[in-house]
């Protein structure tokens, strides 16, 4: 368990600086997105550390891929060194390359003095009320696989189109069957989530330019559905153009991206009708609050976890149904065979 001591103000400052730096980078990238129509993210797989097996989620997902890397691998200096020793390869970070920060959740102790002041992480003094909270702290720096000289190019997963669609279908069907979300198709070119009816509304599949766009759009709207009071209970009361509305839209978009990367679906945020308006609202929110991206990323990660949990429950139910059906078929087949054998024996006996 980690604590911040009174003499670690510089660590606190460093953590805040990293978040501000990330926010500034995102602002610039989104401004480029509006002016030059560049996609926000270009990697279609989730970032991970091949040495430790760590899969980066939430704010780390955004922090690592916002630089536009299409390679999902990330390594620490020690990872690179140990990998070089194990494989005999000459590996090193290219000169002039800069790493990306990663963060971890730590628990800190807060003590309230009698005069109302707050002190962090000190074990001294009497008459103080103690409380522990979780915060995000700077954990270290990692480098993308494309920044490492001598490293073999990444071999992207090759999945048949039908398999990608099958995995996305499982999530959709799970949110209907296990999550309780209603899904309605219509002939209009609009996709949205209706909180009052707890319903996702999508254009008919054939109205989309391609399958990937259909599933990405569906995942975006089902991301919204996780905010319903019966699920994760996010604030979805914001009007169009407000900070609350911008945050909820970013949560749904990041949820769609995180989930798509998990399933291997290509991403292009520009396919949304209100893409430019969304980006402008996110820009304003980022400029007003550097914790905006952190909060949205955490909420999106929870949204994905919720949907994947429902998917696993749904798949488990399907497997149980198949097992029960097979057992029944086997039993009936055995009974049928026994009946036929008896009839054959009876026929032989009568013919004598």
**Cα separations in angstroms, 165 against 50, 133, 159, 190, 260:** 26, 41, 10, 21, 11
- Between 208 and 35, residue with greater pLDDT: 208
**Cα separations in angstroms, 326 against 233, 316, 332:** 40, 15, 10
The predicted pLDDT at position 8 comes to: 45
- Between 41 and 116, residue with greater pLDDT: 41
Does 4 reside within a domain? no
Residues 141 and 196 in one domain: no
Task: State how far the Cα of 112 lies from the Cα of 119, in Å rounded to an integer.
Answer: 6
Kind and range of the H or E element at 183? Answer: strand 182-186
Residues 166 and 189 in one domain: yes
Residues 269 and 185 in one domain: yes
DSSP annotation string for 241-284: TSHHHHHHHHHHHHHHHHHHHHHT----GGGSTTHHHHHHHHHH
Asked which of 294, 309, 324 is the last residue of a domain, the reply is 309
* Nearest residue to 43 (alpha-carbon basis) of 65, 60, 26, 27: 65
Residue 100, SS3? strand
Which pTM value belongs to this model? 0.72
Residues 277 and 297 in one domain: yes
In sequence order, which residues have a C-beta less than 8 Å from that of residue 335 and are 6 or more positions away? none
Domain housing 44: 18-104+136-149
pLDDT grade, residue 31 (50/70/90)? confident
Within a 10 A sphere around the Cβ of 243, how many other Cβ atoms?
14
Residues 196 and 72 in one domain: no
Residue range 243-297, pLDDT digits in tens: 899 999 999 989 998 998 888 887 766 555 556 677 778 888 888 888 888 899 9
Task: State how far the Cα of 159 lies from the Cα of 167, in Å rounded to an integer.
Answer: 11
Say how many domains are in the chain: 2
Does 120 reside within a domain? no
pLDDT grade, residue 161 (50/70/90)? low
Residues 142 and 22 in one domain: yes
Residues 302 and 200 in one domain: yes
The predicted pLDDT at position 11 comes to: 45
Residues 91 and 171 in one domain: no
- Between 106 and 143, residue with greater pLDDT: 143
Asked which of 128, 149, 170 is the last residue of a domain, the reply is 149
The distance in angstroms from the start CA to the end CA of the chain is 86
Angle at 278 between CA 274 and CA 280, to 5 degrees: 125
**Look-up of token digits 């057992």:** 327
């Amino acid at each position: 368990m980690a604590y911040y001591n009174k003499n670690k103000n510089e660590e606190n400052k460093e953590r805040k600086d990293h978040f501000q730096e990330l926010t500034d980078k995102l602002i610039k990238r989104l401004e480029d997105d509006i002016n030059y129509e560049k996609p926000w993210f270009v990697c279609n797989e989730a970032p991970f550390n091949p040495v430790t097996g760590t899969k980066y989620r939430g704010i780390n997902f955004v922090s690592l891929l916002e630089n536009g890397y299409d390679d999902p691998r990330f390594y620490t200096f020690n990872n690179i060194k140990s990998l070089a020793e194990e494989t005999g390869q000459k590996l090193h970070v290219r000169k002039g390359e800069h790493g990306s920060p990663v963060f971890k959740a730590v628990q800190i102790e807060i003590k309230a003095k009698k005069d109302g002041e707050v002190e962090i992480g000190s074990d001294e003094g009497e008459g103080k009320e103690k409380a522990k909270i979780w915060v995000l702290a700077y954990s270290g720096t990692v480098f993308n696989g494309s920044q490492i000289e001598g490293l073999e190019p990444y071999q992207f997963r090759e999945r048949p189109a039908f398999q990608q669609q099958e995995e996305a279908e499982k999530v959709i069907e799970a949110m209907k069957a296990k999550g309780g979300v209603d899904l309605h198709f219509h002939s209009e070119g609009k996709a949205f989530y209706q909180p009052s009816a707890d319903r996702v509304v999508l254009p008919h599949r054939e109205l989309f330019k391609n399958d990937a766009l259909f599933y990405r759009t569906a995942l975006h709207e089902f991301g919204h559905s996780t905010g319903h009071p019966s699920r994760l209970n996010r604030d979805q009361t914001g009007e169009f153009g407000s900070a609350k509305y911008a945050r909820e839209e970013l949560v749904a978009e990041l949820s769609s991206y995180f989930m798509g990367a998990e399933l291997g679906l290509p991403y292009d945020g520009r396919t949304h009708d209100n893409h430019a308006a969304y980006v402008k609202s996110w820009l304003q929110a980022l400029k007003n609050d550097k914790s905006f991206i952190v909060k949205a990323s955490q909420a999106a990660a929870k949204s994905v976890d919720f949907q994947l949990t429902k998917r696993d429950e749904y798949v488990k139910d399907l497997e149980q149904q198949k097992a029960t059906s097979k057992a029944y078929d086997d039993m009936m087949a055995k009974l049928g065979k026994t009946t036929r054998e008896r009839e054959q024996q009876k026929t032989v006996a009568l013919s004598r």
